[in-house]
A and B are shown apart, each in its own frame.
Chain A
Amino acid sequence: MEEPRIGVFVCHCGRNIGAYVDVPGVVEYVKGLPNVVHAERNLYTCSEEGISAIKKGIQEHNLNRVIVASCTPRTHEPLFRSACEAVGLNKYLFEFVNIRDQCSWVHMHEPEKATEKAKDLIRMGVAKARLLEPLEEIEIKVTPSALVIGGGVVGMGAALNLAAQGFEVHVVEKEPELGGTLRSVYKLYPTNEEATKVTNPLIEKVKNDPKIKTYLSAKVKEVSGFIGNFDVVVNQDGEESKFNVGTIIVAIGADKLKPTGQYGYGEMPNVLTQLELEERMKKGEPVGQNVVMINCVGARVPERTYCSRICCMTAIKNASLIKESNPKAKVWILHRDLMTYGVDFENYYRKAMELGVRFIRYSLERPPQVIGDGKAEEIKAYHELRREEIELPCDMLVLTTPLIPAEDNQDISKMLKVSLDEFGFFLEAHLKLRPVEFAMDGIYICGSAKWPTDVTEGISQAYAAASKAAGPLRMGYVKPEAINALVNEDKCSGCGICELLCPFQAIELQPRDGKRVSHVNEAVCKGCGTCGAACPSGAIAMHYFTDEQILAQVEALFS
């Protein structure tokens, strides 16, 4: 390694540093540190003047390491790094020392101590800078195509959006037809349009789109690789297709709970789920004259605490449809809170009331009872608001059940190395800020596979996931920051601890000359350092934060 020639630029930041830290004194001190060939002070290093001074300093003094001692890297590190790059210095040869937010501003009443601390901190920074090495960011080419797993309305929506943006899309659907859950649904709330009228045009578009390749009765068998380069194997009735994609969207939807054993389901022929009711209505089969619906069956209970979001509206929809086609029919909905949030859903709820649907609040502590011999004939319930037992004549009992995680979730989670949440649905990277992404780069999630969702929200999510998935595809490459881990294969003992610890599955043990050594996938590694801290052989170096560099800082503090 060449002899370090370090330049240090100490900022006054107007009075923010200058009024508390003796900046000229610090500059003098710094000049005396080994390997420091240039030190100067600036009023505002981040100003145009300051940036020019850095560039000039690098050129005039042939600097190969630069330190700016000023505010915080979280504001201006990119700015100073690009100043270095502009004159040909690798940006990873730049080190930032925080002498404002973590020094002058917090020791305002002790200027001498603040000055001493600033000297300490810069000495530490110089010690690290001596050991910095240039790092190259690798560019990973991205295959400009995507995989969408799931051919329901959400998967199709995502695929069409990606195709419209110009990318090839592979859609893999396990059923013999596209359409997903909506094939069974009768009408959609809040407009009461027929579901098939919504999905059929979508299916046609997908089939006719030259950029979309559909695999029906197919399942994804294997996925390997990483963002930009996923190798996918699809199994279609024994036949395998292989292709390579840049990003993946998971849109496999959810399963429906069958409430066997509850409220006579499975034993009494006139006890159905909402979906079964819809199938009957679709076929034009008669529904009852006295229809009782019980909401939150198998949901918001100790065994399954979550609310499935879409069921209240589903129940109200079906109740409204029954009343519309048969105004004399009596329909009661027994519920424990009505989740008709927003604008359209409240309106829909009100309309249902106007149509004559009756809403009765029951509580978890006093569930309704089904009375009948061989079939449901009467429902006894405790009406919470009238505070009395009521008896409802019933010739059809409809149970509103939640969506549950699809049974394929476990397999897909393992195959793609993505996480499931505590309920078994897919776990997004961040509930609020990254709602359609997985922590794993390049893979995205939308629809009921993530959380029960209706069509409108699902399509929004589909667009969102497609939008995110298109990012790397459009860029054509990804360039992860070079602060990643590097394994010294000679030192690696193949213990595998790092492989287990990596939150991103970026490490894999691979055979090398008869033994196994760790290999870090630079494309995926985020540089957190968990592996580096754990390696018993000291074989992993964390670029830009190596043990040597950190220890140099520590030792410099006490020298």
Chain B
Amino acid sequence: MDNFEPKIVAFCCNWCSYAGADLAGTSRMQYPPAIRIIRVMCSGRVSPFLVLKALSVGADGVLVLGCHPGDCHYIEGNYKTMRRIPLLKKVLKQFGIEEERVRLEWVSASEGAKFAEVANSFTQSIKNLGPSTLDNLKQSSKGAKHG
């Protein structure tokens, strides 16, 4: 679809990928305006629940970006992410959601170019997939964590 403007949620960890995104900015590297970054302290903060919620309220794609393995500021957070997200992708398939709508990438604080490249390529791949077909399930975010 030519006029499909995806909206992509990107969870970025404060120490690496958020800084990498900043570096892309200071270097004036351009990428599509589809990305909306949400800052967390560590990619390990990103539970599958948050990713699913994002998809369920209408995100066309979700990026989870963390430090390279071995470089996590909190030592092991990204190892948890390394396990959670691939597992989640497998589960998504079973729900009939294309697993390509969720991507995990490692972006360090000095990899501005990589951030821009990931933003570009992910936006393109989401455009190819088309808009998310999930109904807009407006659940209250309070309480029902696993409803």
Interchain CB contact under 8 A, B46 and A545: no
Query: What is the CB-to-nearest-CB distance from B133 to chain A, in angstroms, rounded to a whole number?
Result: 14
Residues of A515-541 contacting chain B, CB below 8 A? 526-530, 532-534, 536, 538
Q: List, sorted by A's number, 23 A–B pairs whose CB atoms are closer than 8 Å.
A: A74-B22, A101-B22, A102-B21, A103-B33, A105-B25, A106-B30, A107-B33, A108-B30, A109-B30, A117-B36, A120-B7, A124-B36, A503-B74, A528-B44, A528-B77, A529-B40, A530-B42, A530-B45, A536-B146, A542-B41, A547-B141, A547-B145, A550-B50
Which residue of chain A lies nearest to B51 when distances are taken between CB atoms in the complex?
A554
The 7 closest A-B pairs by CB, nearest first: A529-B45, A101-B25, A528-B74, A533-B47, A551-B141, A538-B145, A530-B44
Identify B39's interface contact among A73, A107, A528, CB under 8 A. Answer: A73
Chain B 93-123 per-residue mask, 1 if CB under 8 angstroms from chain A, else 0: 0000000000000000000000010000000
B44 touches A547 (CB 8 A): no
Contacts of A483 in B (CB 8 A): 41
Q: A532 touches which one: B24, B45, B73 (CB < 8 A)?
A: B45
Known: A503-B77, A554-B54. A110 touches B33 (CB 8 A): yes
**Are B33 and A114 in contact (CB-based, < 8 A)?**
yes
A529 to B43, CA, bound (A): 8
A371 in contact (CB, < 8 A): no
Which B residues from 1 to 43 make CB contacts under 8 A with A?
5, 7, 9, 18-19, 21-22, 24-26, 28-31, 33, 35-42
Contacts of A209 in B (CB 8 A): none
Known: A101-B25, A107-B33, A483-B41. A533 touches B19 (CB 8 A): no
Do A545 and B30 touch across chains, with their CB atoms under 8 A apart?
Answer: no
- Which residues of B lie under 8 Å from residue A101 when comparing CB positions? 21-22, 24-26
A557 within 8 A of B: yes
Interface contact B36-A555, CB-CB below 8 Å: no
Q: Could you give, for residues 263-291 of chain A, a 1 whenever the CB lies within 8 Å of some chain B CB and a 0 otherwise?
A: 00000000000000000000000000000
Cα A60 to Cα B18 in complex, Å, equals 34
Scan A65-81; emit 1 where CB is below 8 A from any B CB, else 0. Answer: 00000001110000000
Q: Are A558 and B57 in contact (CB under 8 A)?
A: yes
Given contacts A503-B74, A554-B9, contact A102 B46 (CB under 8 A): no
Q: Are B74 and A530 in contact (CB under 8 A)?
A: yes
Given contacts A503-B75, A552-B141, contact A107 B37 (CB under 8 A): no
Q: Could you tell me the distance between the alpha carbons of A463 and B39 in the complex, rounded to whole angstroms?
A: 38
Instruction: Say how far B91's CB is from chain A's closest CB, in angstroms.
Output: 15
A102 near B25: Cβ-Cβ < 8 Å: yes
Contacts of A455 in B (CB 8 A): none
